[in-house]
């Protein structure tokens, strides 16, 4: 499925770096937007803006409407991502960005076991060992949280990230089918459209018109989300996942920098040590199962 020779990864490498950076900025934007207008309204208005942007691009590029089978995949993934995003962004309102991103890195390891369950794939000893290493990293991060002085619901935020990671792992399994059947623009459009439909169910109870000064953040979040989705889809269509996976862990660096600069969030030793253990486990698993892991950042919403 690669569109370029295996050795020609310079362009996908650069594009993937850009995509990860954009996603990290989007996470920070959503945190600021959630603090300003509330999580539900941040999610709803971002999904609406992203849907409008996607529709314009679908029409401008004359994308064909997908068949029923592909629509079912879009629907399933959109619903999964809607709940995944709600959990993840709820968590980052209560956790430092770097810590939330570090915990979310456990998703590819969870995906190994979901693939074994849903796709009947075999999980080897090396992958099991990698999973244990990743779980040790999670335990290190949580131990630092339990010993420190944090807001009362911060531990719930950590658990929400882990729940989001489970949904993201399921999303990875669905994505493997979706990437073969739809263009990047189509994928991004339907993801936002389905998410909008899910969030609209609660509109009678929670929806409020955001203040005018929040509009730039809404548009920025939607543009960043849509662009990063399309950019990463382009990169992964042109280079092997195992070559690009290490780049995606740079999200931790971006999260640490942005969290410190914008929100004044410190980077703890427990978070750094746990992140290194989780990343090491993911890279070991990636080498033992070359194509089983796609995107790793649970903020891929």
- Contact in structure between 47 and 196 (CB atoms under 8 Å): yes
Q: What angle is formed at CA 181 by the lines to CA 175 and CA 186, rounded to 5 degrees? A: 80
**Would you state the structure tokens that stand for residue 90, as one six-digit string?**
């709820």
Angle between helices 125-147 and 269-288 (to 10 degrees): 170
Looking at residue 109, its pLDDT comes to: 77
Looking at residue 231, its pLDDT comes to: 85
* Local confidence pLDDT in tens for the 301 residues of the chain: 444 444 566 888 888 889 889 999 999 999 999 999 999 999 999 999 999 999 999 999 999 899 998 999 999 999 999 999 999 999 999 999 999 999 988 877 787 777 677 666 666 777 777 778 878 888 888 887 666 555 667 888 989 999 998 898 888 778 767 767 888 889 889 999 999 999 999 999 999 999 999 999 999 999 999 898 888 878 877 776 667 767 778 889 899 999 999 999 988 888 999 899 888 887 777 665 544 444 445 445 6
Looking at residue 295, its pLDDT comes to: 47
What's the pTM value of the predicted model, to 2 decimals?
Answer: 0.84
DSSP 61: T
DSSP 213: G
Helical residues (DSSP H) of 237-267, grouped into ranges = 241-248, 251-263
How many C-beta atoms lie closer than 10 Å to residue 9's C-beta?
Answer: 18
Q: Which residues contact 294 (CB under 8 A, 6 or more apart)?
A: 172, 175, 176, 179, 236, 241
Looking at residue 164, its pLDDT comes to: 94
Q: Please state the domain extents for the chain.
A: 10-288
Q: Phi, psi (5° rounding) for residue 257?
A: -70, -50
HEC profile of 58-102: HHHCCCCCCCHHHHHHHHHHHHHHHHHHHHHHHHHCCCCHHHHHH
């Amino acid at each position: 499925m690669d569109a370029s020779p295996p050795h020609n990864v310079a362009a996908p490498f650069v594009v993937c770096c850009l995509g990860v950076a954009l996603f990290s900025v989007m996470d920070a934007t959503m945190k600021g937007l959630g603090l300003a207008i509330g999580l539900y309204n941040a999610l709803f208005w971002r999904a609406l803006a992203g849907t409008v942007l996607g529709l314009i691009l679908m029409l401008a590029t004359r994308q064909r409407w997908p068949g029923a089978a592909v629509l079912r995949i879009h629907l399933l993934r959109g619903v999964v991502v809607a709940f995944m995003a709600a959990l993840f962004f709820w968590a980052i309102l209560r956790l430092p960005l770097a810590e939330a991103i570090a915990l979310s890195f456990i998703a590819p390891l969870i995906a190994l076991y979901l693939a074994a369950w849903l796709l009947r794939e075999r999980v080897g000893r090396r992958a099991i060992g990698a999973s244990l290493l990743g779980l040790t990293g999670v335990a290190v991060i949580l131990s630092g949280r339990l010993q420190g002085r944090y807001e009362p619901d911060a531990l719930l935020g950590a658990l929400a990230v882990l729940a989001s990671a489970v949904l993201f792992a399921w999303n990875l399994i669905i994505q493997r089918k979706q990437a073969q059947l739809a263009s990047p623009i189509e994928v991004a459009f339907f993801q936002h459209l389905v998410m909008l439909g899910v969030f609209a169910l609660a509109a009678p109870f929670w929806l409020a018109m955001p203040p005018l000064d929040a509009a730039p953040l809404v548009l920025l979040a939607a543009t960043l989300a849509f662009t990063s989705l399309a950019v990463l889809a382009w990169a992964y269509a042109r280079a092997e996942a195992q070559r690009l996976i290490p780049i995606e862990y740079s999200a931790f660096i971006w999260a640490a920098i942005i969290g410190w600069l914008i929100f004044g969030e410190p980077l703890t030793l427990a978070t750094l040590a746990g992140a290194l253990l989780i990343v090491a486990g993911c890279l070991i698993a990636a080498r033992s199962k070359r194509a089983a892991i796609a995107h790793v950042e649970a903020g891929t919403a």
